[in-house]
Every structure is written in structure tokens, then in C-alpha cells.
Amino acid sequence: MIVSTTENVAGHRVTQTLGLVRGNTIRARHIGRDIKALGRNIVGGEISEYTKLLAEAREQALDRMVAEATDLGANAITGTRFATSMVTSGGAELLAFGTAVIVEPELS
């Protein structure tokens, strides 16, 4: 599956647009990670516990979006974007969305 943030895929032409696809996940903070993060807030530096949490959430949302596109018969997703929103005081949603398409290589 080709996943692109652009509306086109270099070297390919879109032959069919199948529609919007999305994948999301909602993640809550973990008390153990919060304690470690509090320490980072005091001494400074990257809060790696939250970096890892968000990276896992992005991958899960992306995997779910790709699965939805695959179910539609797509071989590419264009215009991919990510969005986040706070759901509760300790939890956030991460959403990946784009357009499922069928692409073919361009003939030279």
C-alpha cells in the first residue's frame, strides 16, 4: 500500500477514487509514565514516555486506515493527514485520514 501526504503519487496516475478512509485510536495516560514525565518536567528534556505513546498511537491509527483502504480494494492512499483531539482529561484521540485510490504506473 502506497501512503502519500500529497494528492498524487510520483510516477503513478490515479485511475479510480474510492473515497475517504480513516483510522483512529484513543489512548490514555499511564500513571507510571506520568510519574516519569513529572521528573522530566523538573529537570528538562524530552518526555520520551509520551513520545513513545504518541508514536504507537500514530502507527495504530495508520494501520487501521490502511486496513480500511485495503477492504475497499485500494492500492494507495493520497492526501494523508493526522489530527488529534482531547477526549478526556487523561486521554486523547489520534486520527489518520486520507483518500483511498487505485493507481497505476505511468508509462514513459
Given this model, what pLDDT does residue 45 score?
72
Global pTM reads 0.83
Architecture of domain 2-29+59-105: 2-Layer Sandwich (3.30)
Whether residue 31 has pLDDT greater than 70: no
pLDDT tens per residue across span 36-73: 556 556 666 777 777 888 899 999 999 999 999 999 99
Whether residue 83 has pLDDT greater than 90: yes
Is residue 82 a contact partner of residue 55, using CB atoms and an 8 Å limit? no
